[in-house]
């Protein structure tokens, strides 16, 4: 973690987290599927790996977002039915925090995107909200057989960032 950087943390405790990170002019942005109970100063292994990767690769901050904001330590416990209100707030927070950035975005939701049918809609809405900012999309590690980007917990620390065509992914994979 960056000792002199302010925390970014949008949440509705205990049910949702919309953002978690530390401020920077050149932050690494990462997208997972759903948030855990991580919070400022108390990161889980996934979020800690994102923060560590950002620090080790010359980013001056980091932001963790998720396709769906419901906190669920087990993705099988995610809402069975799409909750439009929290999804819309998620997209709003993501757009607000990224609209002034042209950033590197690490796509890291893994095969978990298949857990709920609404997750592909969530990704499409988020992509539509941030795609015009000049962001660059990446993945790390091998793409799954189904075409999904790798989850941060299941890759080597030395895995490089590879360009990822999110538009093609949205059109062809999900």
Contacts of 4 (CB under 8 A, 6+ apart): none
Each residue's pLDDT expressed in tens, for the chain with a length of 174 residues:
788 899 999 999 889 999 999 999 999 999 999 999 999 999 999 999 999 999 999 999 999 999 999 999 889 999 999 999 999 999 999 999 999 888 999 999 999 999 999 999 999 999 999 988 889 999 999 999 999 999 888 788 889 999 999 999 988 877
Half-sphere exposure of 142 (CA within 13 A, CB side): 3
Model pTM? Answer: 0.95
Between CA 42 and CA 8 the distance in angstroms is 13
**3-class DSSP state for residue 12?**
strand
Q: Where are the domains of the chain?
A: 7-172
Q: What is the pLDDT of residue 8?
A: 97
DSSP-derived secondary structure for 141-165? SPPPTTSPPPPGGGS-TTPPEEE--
Q: What is the pLDDT of residue 6?
A: 96
Helix axes 84-98, 118-130, angle to 10 degrees: 30
Q: What is the pLDDT of residue 154?
A: 78
3-state helix, strand, coil in the chain (%, to 5): 35, 25, 40
């Amino acid at each position: 973690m960056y000792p002199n950087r302010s925390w970014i943390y949008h949440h509705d405790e205990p049910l949702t987290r919309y953002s978690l990170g530390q401020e920077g002019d050149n932050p690494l942005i990462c997208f997972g599927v759903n948030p855990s109970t991580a919070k400022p100063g108390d990161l889980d292994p996934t979020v800690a790996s994102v923060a560590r990767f950002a620090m080790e690769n010359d980013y001056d901050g980091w932001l963790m977002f998720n396709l769906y904001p419901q906190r669920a330590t087990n993705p099988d416990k995610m809402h069975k039915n799409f909750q439009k209100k929290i999804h819309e707030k998620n997209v709003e927070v993501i757009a607000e925090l990224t609209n002034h950035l042209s950033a590197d975005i690490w796509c890291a939701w893994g095969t978990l995107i298949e857990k709920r049918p609404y997750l592909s809609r969530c990704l499409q809405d988020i992509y539509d909200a941030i795609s015009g900012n000049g962001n660059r999309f990446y993945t790390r590690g091998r793409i799954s057989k189904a075409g999904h980007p790798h989850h941060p917990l299941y890759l080597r620390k030395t895995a490089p960032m590879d360009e990822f065509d999110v538009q093609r992914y949205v059109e062809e994979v999900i």
